[in-house]
Copies of this chain bind each other. A is one copy, B any other.
Amino acid sequence: MNAQTPSIPTAADVDAAAERLKGVAVRTPLVFSPILSELTGGRIFIKPETLQRTGSFKFRGAYNRMVQIAPEQRAAGVVACSSGNHAQGVAAAAKLLGMPAIIVMPNDAPALKRARTIALGAEVVGYDRVTEDRDAIAAAIAARNGAILVPPYDDPHVIAGQGTVGREIVEDLVALGLDLDVVSANASGGGLMAGISLAVKARFPNAQPIVAEPADFDDHARSFVSGVRERNAAPSGSFCDALLAPTPGAITFEVNRLLTGGAVSASDAEVAAAVAFAFLELKLVVEPGGAVALAALLQGRIAAKDKTVVIVLSGGNVEPETYLACLKTL
């Protein structure tokens, strides 16, 4: 597959990504949750991508894209736009591959994510989310340095990399002798959900992937209804700082509109309560943007009774202050 002609990735691309990520990405577990199963009447598993390298699934897609950059091109480095989790994924992949990385990051990105990106060796270039165009800034850097742009979601290699989350879910369920009924993952640009859907539908054609979004940033839900890519009203302001993409990606939407089985959403207060629930009952640190699917399940918006359901916790890079605010809901 050529970077100049992006196309829809397939389950075979996910298999190839899994080979590239072997021994590099953390093989995250599928953890049965007695308490969620009791609360919902279903058989509920958690896929904690919080335990992934850099604390979110983003490393998978970034590495799968970047390891395919030809050795002679690596010295020029990479550039990426991200408010934090993709930034860390790209930075960690660049460090492993010995490449320089520049991240174009909004000035209102969480300080923790900024600090962790820099700690991984990347250079961070700030911009104003309202008045500046991050894509133009990144394009200028790419042109100046000859650096390769690593998109956060709308790239077949990135989607295939994220799909390894779904491939691992399939492997673990097959080993347990179980079929998958529902898998729900949080969506911003939709890369994680698209990758997961490709992988799980290849093995469980009747499985229902469900997109989870913040209530006021439900571009996927509205796009599924209208059939075209709708935009969110605001460029920022969600409690879920990881889920601020303005609209579904072009490639990801092609996959998601065909393969997903619907969308659910949760309010900021419901997400905060889910973060606190994960602290108290699951003992897993989840960031707001990583807890929307869990919040929707806890609110009864994902039909789980008598079903095998996998909830993906997509990231755990939450600042102590934000975490404290969530725990106050207890």
Given known contacts A285-B279, A324-B324, A327-B320, A53 and B31 CB-to-CB distance under 8 angstroms:
no
Q: Which residue, A51, A282, A283, A324, has most C-beta atoms of chain B within 10 A?
A: A283
A50 interface residue per 8 A CB criterion:
yes
A10 interface residue per 8 A CB criterion:
no
A55 interface residue per 8 A CB criterion:
yes
Within 8 A of B (CB), among A153-188: none
Closest Cβ neighbor of A96 among chain B residues: B34
B283, A316: Cβ atoms closer than 8 Å: yes
A284, B282: Cβ atoms closer than 8 Å: no
A231 interface residue per 8 A CB criterion:
no
- Chain B residues with CB under 8 Å of A224's CB are none
Query: In the complex, what's the smallest C-beta–C-beta distance from A238 to chain B, in angstroms?
Result: 21
Give Cα distance in the complex from A180 to B48, angstroms: 25
Given known contacts A26-B31, A32-B27, A55 and B284 CB-to-CB distance under 8 angstroms:
no
Closest Cβ neighbor of A27 among chain B residues: B32
Given known contacts A279-B285, A283-B51, A283-B316, A31 and B31 CB-to-CB distance under 8 angstroms:
no
- Chain B residues with CB under 8 Å of A50's CB are 283
State the A residues within 8 Å of B (CB). 26-29, 31-32, 34, 48, 50-51, 53, 55, 279, 281-286, 316, 320, 323-324, 327-328, 330
